[in-house]
Amino acid sequence: MSVSEDRSWTARIRGRAVGALPPERLLPDKQPSYVASWIYIFGVLSLASLVMLIATGCILALKGPGWWHFTGVGHFFNSMHLWSVELFFFFMVIHLWGKYWMAAWRGGRARVWMTGAVTFLVAIPCALTGYVSQQNFDAQWISTQAKDAMNSVGVGAFFNLLNFGQMYSYHVLLLPVAVVGLVIAHVLLVRRHGVVPPFELREIAERPAQPPEQAQQADPAQPAGPVPPAQREPQT
């Protein structure tokens, strides 16, 4: 690398980006053998639902409420948008359950877990602002109920759920940008740290049992019994 490249901020960013995520890790053509399980597909199913959500949402935004309420094609895309969000949360919650029970924060994957958890939390108001942006009596009912909920927890001064313009802006711009940004960060972190492996159940089962008194003598600070896999996992 020449001196001019060292001083160039684009070259430094490129070097750091390629160092953190080499192309073969960013777009791998092989996966670990333990990924061959149905429980590992719910992340990508959530991603597919998100793509459908954004695509149908863009079409709805282009055409407007009159189109999605009063035409057959509009009803179709409105329903596609609704069922995409239903499936998005359906798959995302199962993804969350699976990753929680396999302690997906192991092996230096705390940021992977946190970006996923925050994405879930941000997606909830993203969906809520969509329900109050429908421009029908259903939206009016939901917004009045949600307004009371916001007031009851002390944040009613910051959001007016009866304000269609404000809720629509949140729904089509601010919150989707946040969700997509978090999802991109989440996927890049997964690619950087790799997919979390399952617990090593066989190794735990075959390890000879250690008497509790010996374990206490060896290290009083450590609990007796086999070391949990989360602690044995090498840091990546």
Site residues (vs another protein, CB under 8 A) = 28, 30-33, 36-39, 41-42, 90, 93-94, 97-98, 194
CA–CA distance, 179 with 169 (Å, rounded to integer): 14
* Shorter beta-carbon distance to another protein: residue 95 or 186: 95
* Shorter beta-carbon distance to another protein: residue 54 or 94: 94
* Shorter beta-carbon distance to another protein: residue 120 or 168: 120
CA–CA distance, 168 with 77 (Å, rounded to integer): 18
Distance in Å, CB of 112 to another protein, minimum: 17
Distance in Å, CB of 24 to another protein, minimum: 9
* Shorter beta-carbon distance to another protein: residue 152 or 214: 152
* Shorter beta-carbon distance to another protein: residue 98 or 176: 98
Tokens of 126: 């993203």
CA–CA distance, 187 with 175 (Å, rounded to integer): 18
Distance in Å, CB of 55 to another protein, minimum: 24
Burial class (CB in 10 A: 0-12, 13-18, 19+), 56: buried
* Shorter beta-carbon distance to another protein: residue 94 or 142: 94
CA–CA distance, 116 with 131 (Å, rounded to integer): 23
CA–CA distance, 134 with 72 (Å, rounded to integer): 16
Residue of 102, 107, 105, 103 lying closest to 232 (CA atoms): 107
Q: HSE-up of 143 (CA within 13 Å, CB side)?
A: 22
Distance in Å, CB of 97 to another protein, minimum: 5
Amino acid at 67: W
Residue of 178, 168, 107, 88 lying closest to 134 (CA atoms): 168
Tokens of 52: 């459908």
Distance in Å, CB of 104 to another protein, minimum: 15
Distance in Å, CB of 231 to another protein, minimum: 24
DSSP state of 225: S
